[in-house]
Amino acid sequence: MSRAADLAALIVDVNTTEAKTDELTGKTTAGSIAVTGEGGSTTTNLQQGLCKSWCQWNNAGTPTASDSLNLSSIVDSATGRPDLNFTNNMNNDDFAASGFGRSGYSMMWDHSSTSQIGVIIWYGSYYDANQCSYMIQGDLA
Amino acid sequence: MASELRVDTLKDSSGNNSVGMSYVAEGSAKGWIKYNGTGTIAISDSFNVASITDETTGTTTVTFTNAMNNANYSTVATCSDTAAHLQIVDANQATGSYRQRTLDGSLSLVDDPAVYGNAHGDLA
C-alpha cells in the first residue's frame, strides 16, 4: 500500500510502538472504539468489553474493600446482603454482573440501579463471607 | 472517515499506567448479557449477542454475533435470587454459542428472572 493510501485511510503507525494519552475517544462515535480481535478477522468494541466495576472485599464485620475499580462504598444492609455503590454511575440497570464467594459460598444478584448493585452471599442462608468478588460489564453513563 | 492507530502499548500522558494492546484485546469481554429467563425469554441488554434460545426449563443457548476463535473461552454466569442458586455453563460450548443452565438448591433446573453471562477469550 502506498504512503498516500495510508494517509487517505488515516492509519497512524506509531513506530515507537507506544502511545501516551489520558483519554481515548472514538473518532466517528465517541463511545465506540474498535479493537482487532485475537484471530485478526473481526473487531470487538473496546468500551463494551471493558469491565466497568470490580471489587474484592471482606463482608465479615464492617465490609471492607481489598481492592476495587469504580467503587465508592459498600453498605452492610443485612447479613449476607451488601450494597455496592459505584463512583461513576452506569447508564442503566441492565448491566451484566458475575460474582464469586470463597470456599463454596454462592453469590447472586438481588437488586440493581444505575448507582449500585445489591448482592446476596449465600451459604445455605445469608452469610457474611470473608472473601467475595464481583465484576460488571455494561454501559457506563 | 474511519481512522486507525497502530501501537503496542498505551500509557497515560505521564508515562504511567502502561497497558499492552495484547491485554486490551485479550482482557476485554467479548460478550456479555443480562436476560429474563422466565416465560418468553428476553434480552435486557447485551454485547456481541445475536440471540438467545429457550432450550428447556432453566436452559438457554446464547449465540454470538461475532464468533470466538476457538471454544476455549472463559464464561461466567450468575443468577438472581436464592431460589436459583447456581449458574453453570455446560459442555455445549462452541465458537458461535454456549449454553448456560440455572439450578436451584436441589440441582433441579429452574427459570430465573435475571440471568447474567460474561465471555472472555479470543475473538475470531
Quote ipTM for the complex.
0.83
Residue A63 counted as domain residue: yes
CA angle B40, B36, B112 (to 5 degrees): 100
Where in the sequence is the domain holding B92, given as residue range(s)? Answer: 29-120
Dist. CA A1–CA A64, nearest whole Å:
55
Note down pLDDT in tens along chain B; length 124 residues. Answer: 678 888 889 988 888 888 988 889 889 999 999 999 999 999 999 999 999 999 999 999 999 999 999 999 988 888 887 666 677 777 778 999 999 999 887 888 999 999 999 999 999 9
Classify residue A32: in a domain, yes or no. Answer: no
A76 is a domain residue? yes
Pairing of strands B9-11, A18-20: parallel
**Does the residue B11 lie in any domain?**
no
Establish if B10 touches chain A: CB-CB under 8 angstroms. Answer: yes
Pairing of strands B29-36, A71-76: unpaired
* Residue A74 falls inside a structural domain: yes
**Is B3 inside a domain boundary?**
no
Cβ distance B124 to A41 less than 8 Å, yes or no, reads: yes
CB atoms within 10 A of CB A82: 26
- Report the C-alpha gap between A109 and A70 in whole angstroms: 18
In-domain check, residue A130: yes
Total structural domains within chain B: 1
Q: Has residue A36 been placed in a domain?
A: no
Q: Chain A partners of B66 at a C-beta cutoff of 8 Å? A: 37, 42, 44
Question: How many independent structural domains does chain A possess?
Answer: 1
The reply to whether A99 falls in a domain is yes
Residue A114, in any domain of the structure: yes
